[in-house]
Structure 1
């Protein structure tokens, strides 16, 4: 009887050992090939900022969103070309910025012709979101002299900061679903230059900040003025962070193609009528000052985005008897020089 018990113990122990060894082997095999949050192996090469490019996002038929590169020949479908050429390249703008694998991205662009993958006609593309999961969305308020004047506010001594969340991100040509009027009805546009961070920056002097910028976009800090200014204690974050309250696009343009960000025309059209017409030269705090100031308090990481404030001409700045708030069916077009026209319709 005792020998039988001993035999069972031996078999049980050896079986457990086999299972443990087998499990350990699987774990070691899995850990040898860790995958990134975007799928595929984690990129461990040098972090580089992308240069000389104009990028959009394609909403694919399967519901995924991936990068396209705008060229004179048409739009390069990065996902399809990378797969055809067997290049482990970033396929979204978030991934490109956050991983910094510009080398693989450049190989895809350079190999587009030989890949045999057709260039896409941009007019037939359904646009996706340029950004889906940036680490931070930082916003600067009250940053144009004439805008501060029109609403009767003093020019702030330092950049006033607030934030949006990822739920607010949406695309060019979207239908922006406005809240029911009992939630908010004082809807306003705010066309803005968007700064896209390309390298980690912390405590960076003003003179060096542009070395950390990957590029720029046209954006709109869409706002509910009643929620922002008329709720108890004043709720800027609520008034600016409802779903889809951050349209961005249609393009990300690399910084080298833009040049001086403090000399760009900024315009808004509502149903074809011009409402805002200014220039970033009217910034109270220019691009360098904003980035340096923010980096004093926390690090800005690759892929973080910064809204830079809006010029005069917002509905809030009109006399109260002339404030006609945006409504369902209105078409808003935001324009920033060199960065393209961002269009969305209220629905």
Structure 2
């Protein structure tokens, strides 16, 4: 079953059905304490038409590109008709009940996932499942504002000397394909594509040198924002404008550090109705991931499953002249290379 091992050189988008092979020349993250050093793509899913509890799965990549095959199309079957995933909840009933439980199990759980993939058992056809948010019950959703150099420039804001921290509440979480309900309370709905970090190991006052070892993986986030409530109302506090129901779609998977070439050099994009409005790179991050983790942990204890949204690049609607606001009927796609795409209609 070695051909079915998840490989660090391959990733795919759940929505576009396109696999992008990336060579892992330098994995900045290094060994991860508490999360086995394995390249994995972990998801949560429900069977189609099933409203029951989400299950944990691992997406399976069949093989590397064949000689002469275009890397942009290699592995496309992984998300098309022949795509497979492993039902980890069925394979590891003791620790695979939900993603947070699996992350808390550390090395034991991740090695069990690897064994489940290699066993060839509990396979599912991806056509028969619907992906959910890859984690539904984090202790915390922590966000960083003004954290891309190009975003600071477009807003004519000074580059922050330390991370600007705010939060979202759990009601904001949504899946990679879920509808975003536009609240009647806002007329200024905006989009923000973000790279999100998933914590894998508990820590408080984490030294900078050890911060990356606390990362379980990465996912894509859409930091939906009601700018009128974020910037003009609620006495200038950001919370309400950031945490309406469904204002934080994430997914399609949690991709472990060993499957990411360099988290600080990934393309990041947002498309609205097929038009690219944000296109940048995580190399533009003002405060890098290790610095963010170390800074946040000075104030709060980070635990497995915590989400950290690392900021958005230039191109957001509020920065445009005139401003560009989302409307009902729009479809927003947020994408990060080597991780995938979340695609959410505005309804």
Is it true that 1:126 corresponds to 2:130 in the alignment? yes
- Equivalent residue in structure 1 for 2:59, among 70, 75, 80: 70
| 1:104, distance to aligned residue in structure 2 (A) | 4.3
Is it true that 1:103 corresponds to 2:108 in the alignment? yes
Describe the superposition over 1:116-150 as per-residue Cα deviations: whole angstroms up to 9, x where unpaired.
Answer: 53x22223321122121111111100001111111
Q: Give the SS at the match of 2:182.
A: coil
1:191 corresponds in structure 2 to 193
Describe the superposition over 1:31-81 as per-residue Cα deviations: whole angstroms up to 9, x where unpaired.
Answer: xxxxxxxxxxxxxxxx83143210111124252101110112510011233
TM (norm. structure 2) is 0.80
Larger % of helix: which?
1
TM (norm. structure 1) is 0.80
- Equivalent residue in structure 1 for 2:39, among 45, 52, 56: 52
Contact 2:35–2:110 under 8 Å retained in 1 = no
Cα–Cα, structure 1 residues 125 and 325, in superposed 2: closer, same or farther, change >3 Å? Answer: same
Q: Distance in 1 between matches of 2:121 and 2:204?
A: 44
- The list of structure 1 runs, each at least 4 consecutive aligned residues, that deviate by more than 4 angstroms after superposition, is 112-116
Larger % of strand: which?
2
Describe the superposition over 1:192-249 as per-residue Cα deviations: whole angstroms up to 9, x where unpaired.
Answer: 0001111112222222211111110011111000110111421310100110100000
| 1:172, distance to aligned residue in structure 2 (A) | 0.8
Q: Which has the higher contact order (CA 8 A, sep 6+)?
A: 2
Q: Distance in 1 between matches of 2:236 and 2:111?
A: 47
1:243 corresponds in structure 2 to 245
| 1:89, distance to aligned residue in structure 2 (A) | 2.7
Equivalent residues in 2 for 1:215-294, closer than 5 Å: 215-294=217-296
Gaps of 5+ in 1: 1-46
Q: Distance in 1 between matches of 2:220 and 2:52?
A: 24
Is it true that 1:92 corresponds to 2:98 in the alignment? yes
Contact 2:106–2:200 under 8 Å retained in 1 = no
Number of aligned positions between the proteins: 291
Cα–Cα, structure 1 residues 112 and 265, in superposed 2: closer, same or farther, change >3 Å? Answer: closer
